[in-house]
Amino acid sequence: MRVFVPLAVGLFLALGAATSKVIKIPATLETEPVLTPGDAADDVAVWIHPKDPELSIIIGTDKKNGVVLYDLHGKRLKFQNFGPINNIDIRNGVITATNRARNGLDIYRLNYEALELEKVSLHEFTATFPVYGICMSHDPKTNRLYSFITGKDGTVEQWQLTETSDGKVDAKPVRKFQMSSQTEGCVVDDGSQALYLSEEEVGLWKTSTDPLRKAKPTLIDSTQSGHLTADIEGVGIYKRKDGKKFIVLSSQGDDTYVVYEGQGDHRFLLKFKIVKSSQTDGVTHTDGLDIVSQPLGNLFPHGLLIVQDDNKISFEKGYQDFKFVSWELLMPYLP
């Protein structure tokens, strides 16, 4: 398997000057904390209610014990002990997650009436490398569903998901490639079928989701450019109604978020911090994040950014939570 290494620093000069002014964005609200103390909250996914978006459900991982379900006001609805669920994502109602206790792939659906995740894996799916992050994609041309599992050793493995007649979901690996070091965060732009990967010490990469093509990741930005400070963590995509897209990346080392254009040469746009508001404390050391582009009622009329917060002064000391930021707050700073 080919190992991909950073390109010359000169390739990043086109992204603009090194670290620009950091914009301060106040958090809109925060969730109740996860139930396990210490470094426990990690990643998040959003299940969109098909009839009333204000009834959508936030699924946050407690990487020591399971998942926590929240409403859009941050109220904890249910905790489910599935073991150490590290990262999670959702497509077409199918939810996949990395389970580090058994080094495997878990597959769920949300039972909204019972407000709980139900496991629908056809079998116990186990990886051959130390699993870490996960993201999903749906190919509109083939109608195929995929999960991409990232590993602590830099392995990236693509699994094809198939729904069975009895409501279960089967999975099989269809492609595997190797990054040079620990890789966790990832996201797929279903429209362009581009996979974005966060190699923690290196930077943000882009490659194709096509399982029949050899992966040839290209580096969008690196920790050498001045925009990013390791570790590089969660990554998400906002899709505007006019077709313009924005990539948001957690630069964990300096407690910021970096925004790039989601098309073309992925030009660097801005950096921002999430700071305290009258409702919440500020955010530090974000791991996972997720973005919802569609309106979610009056509270989030233009969508939502959700981030994991390492800060331990909110609610009960020592327990982490997730912060919500209305996308409306970012709009004045974006072209």
- pLDDT tens digits for 178-191? 999 999 999 999 99
Task: Identify whether 52 is preceded by a cis peptide bond (ω within 30 of 0).
Answer: no
User: 0.85 exceeded by the pTM?
Assistant: yes
- The CA distance from 178 to 122, in Å, is 27
Mean pLDDT of the chain: 92
All domains of the chain in start order, with CATH: 13-333 (2.120.10.30)
Q: Which CB contacts under 8 angstroms, 24+ apart, belong to 105-108?
A: 105/131, 105/134, 105/147, 105/149, 105/159, 105/171, 106/82, 107/161, 107/169, 107/171
pLDDT string in tens for the chain (335-residue length): 333 443 333 333 333 444 469 999 999 999 999 999 999 999 999 999 999 999 999 999 999 999 999 999 999 999 999 999 999 999 999 999 999 999 999 999 999 999 999 999 999 999 999 999 999 999 999 999 999 999 999 999 999 999 999 999 999 999 999 999 999 999 999 999 999 999 999 999 999 999 999 999 999 999 999 999 999 999 999 999 999 999 999 999 999 999 999 999 999 999 999 999 998 999 999 999 999 999 999 989 999 999 999 976 555 568 999 999 999 999 999 99
Tell me what pLDDT residue 317 has.
67
